[in-house]
Amino acid sequence: MEPFTIHRGIAVPLLRANVDTDAIIPSREMKRVGKTGLGQGLFAGWRYRNSDSREPEPDFVLNQARYAGASILLAGENFGCGSSREHAVWALKEYGFRAVLAPSFGVIFRDNCIRNGVLPIVLDEAKLIAIAEDSSAGGPVTVDLRSCQVFSPGGSVYSFDIPSAQREMLLEGLDPVALTLKLADRIEAFQRQDRLERPWIYLNRLREPSP
């Protein structure tokens, strides 16, 4: 996984509440099996004038010249709610986003961010509005995971919290599957005991489709 230490970039405000993963990446934009080819479909329902073309909708914030190349998203409450589709994070990442700041996140979306090296940061709405105003003239925002701080172009500094295991995972770019596979002995020991206590959990054959 790509590590995250410090990132400096343009912050774009999309502060509406309850932006769901269908809005982040509509179903029709998921065209084949895989984790790529999704950046063009990011926010497709809002970003383009209609569902059949790629003509930009000028009013949508990502299409405004001052936010071109934005890599930090300032979002509203419950951002990424709805469908579990990890394609939402793959689309954000492919577009260029490295961090999303919001008052709260959909639980699955937040975990998906961590697993893809996109940093989800929880900050109060008032702070996000302040960062949005402060950066509207074009100054970059800096997000530092080492110190757990966000630096706004006007000089304000905001601290944030993140569980230490997730922070380490992001800083080091660790692969959680590899880490867990090192605990194989513990898993086996658990299953040996559990088979005695809950034998019905451990199905011992596949039941084929009935004829």
CB of residue 100 vs other proteins: minimum separation in angstroms?
A: 15
Binding residues among 22-81 for other proteins as defined by CB under 8 A: 22-23, 26-28, 30-35, 45, 50-51, 76-78, 81
Q: Which two tokens stand for residue 202?
A: 């451990």
CB of residue 142 vs other proteins: minimum separation in angstroms?
A: 25
Q: Determine the interface stretch with other proteins among 62-70, 132-140, 145-153, 197-205 (rule: CB under 8 A).
A: 197-205
Instruction: Return the amino acid letter for 205.
Output: R
Cα dihedral: 151, 171, 42, 150 (round 10): -10
Q: Determine the interface stretch with other proteins among 3-11, 56-64, 139-147, 196-204 (rule: CB under 8 A).
A: 196-204
Choice between 9 and 26, CB closer to other proteins: 26
DSSP class per residue in 89-107: HHHHHHHT--EEEES-B-H
Cα dihedral: 125, 77, 150, 153 (round 10): -60
List 49, 54, 146, 186, residue binding other proteins (CB under 8 A): 186
Q: Is 98 one of the binding residues for other proteins (CB under 8 A)?
A: no
Q: Which of 169, 172, 170, 145 lies closest to 159 in space, CA to CA?
A: 145
Q: Which two tokens stand for residue 63?
A: 């299409």
List 55, 66, 187, 195, residue binding other proteins (CB under 8 A): 187
How many chain residues touch other proteins (CB under 8 A)?
A: 66
- Do residues 114 and 176 touch, judged by C-beta distance below 8 A? no
Instruction: Return the amino acid letter for 141.
Output: V
Return d(Cα 176, Cα 105) in angstroms, integer. 21
The runs of H, that is alpha helices, within 52-211 are: 87-95, 107-115, 125-134, 164-172, 176-181, 184-197
Q: Determine the interface stretch with other proteins among 4-12, 13-21, 93-101, 136-144 (rule: CB under 8 A).
A: 13-21
Binding residues among 117-156 for other proteins as defined by CB under 8 A: 125
List 111, 144, 149, 153, residue binding other proteins (CB under 8 A): 111
Instruction: Give me the residues that bind other proteins (CB under 8 A), please.
Output: 15-18, 20, 22-23, 26-28, 30-35, 45, 50-51, 76-78, 81-86, 89, 104, 106-109, 111-112, 115-116, 125, 163-165, 176-177, 180-181, 183, 186-187, 190-191, 194, 197-210
